[in-house]
Amino acid sequence: MNLQPLARRLSRLTTDIVVRRPRLWFLLRGLTRFQFGRLAPQWDAIRAGDTAYAPYEAALERVDPPKRALDLGTGTGGAAFAIAHRFPEAEVIGVDLAQQMIAQARGKLTDDLAGRVRFEVADAARLPYGGESFDLVGLSNMIPFFDELERVLAPGGSLIVAFSGGADTPIYVPPERLREQLGRRGFTDFAEFSTDPGTALLARKAEHA
């Protein structure tokens, strides 16, 4: 049985439910963790290709260098490493719900990155970090938990929400909905990027009044 098409359908269904009803995440968290844990050994092959992180990196080109960055749903670490290579002075944390994904990411750490890049198991709906802890928060093919994004991002900080396959990505939220939810939480300066087929939205959290 080919589990990948089923996993894609489950990811889209989970995304649609959780974006509309975040409180239902607790019912779907265990299945999501199991699903991505099973995919971890083949994740790099699934996301292989020069375009996998293209929209994420396109948005990074417009970001001021952060001191501290968080990559949510890091998987095997691809987007976290993209941040680290672009901003060599930044501390980068990549988090994922699946321990197996984090194990794969940690296995890729090189000596030159080990001092400022780390990977941790965490739930993006309830992050173990203080408020306003990061200057940059990024998501690549990841369900956005809007209240947590607002909480952990520092005023004036940048948020990237990227989807490697655009609207065909299993985990996908339309830019209109992203703008609506983020705008309600004080995000501004929206910019959209398209790398065909990938898309990304960049936003800035407003400064304190």
Secondary structure of residue 195 in the 3-state scheme: coil
pLDDT tops 60 at residue 21: yes
φ and ψ at residue 96, rounded to 5 degrees: -150, 155
pLDDT tops 90 at residue 8: no
Give whole-number Cα distances, 18 to 125, 171, 205, in Å: 10, 11, 22
pTM for this model (two decimals) = 0.95
User: Which residue range(s) make up the domain with 59?
Assistant: 3-205
pLDDT for residue 209: 61
Using left for φ > 0, alpha for ψ between -120 and 50, and beta otherwise, residue 77 falls in left
A 10 A CB-CB count for 192 gives 13
- What's the pLDDT tens digit per position in 126-180? 999 999 999 999 999 999 999 999 999 999 999 999 999 999 999 999 999 999 9
pLDDT tops 90 at residue 17: yes
Give the pLDDT band of residue 28 (cuts 50, 70, 90). Answer: very high
Residue 181 CA to residue 143 CA, distance in Å, equals 13
pLDDT for residue 50: 63
What is the number of structural domains in the chain?
1
Long-range contacts of 163-168 (CB under 8 A, 24+ apart): 163/55, 163/198, 163/199, 163/200, 164/47, 164/51, 164/52, 164/53, 164/54, 164/55, 164/56, 164/140, 164/197, 164/198, 165/197, 165/198, 166/194, 166/196, 166/197, 166/198, 166/199, 167/199, 168/197
pLDDT for residue 5: 79
pLDDT for residue 47: 80
CATH code of the domain containing 172? 3.40.50.150
pLDDT for residue 15: 97
Give the pLDDT band of residue 3 (cuts 50, 70, 90). Answer: very low
* Strand (E) or helix (H) holding 156: strand 153-163
Pair 92, 105: CB distance under 8 Å: no
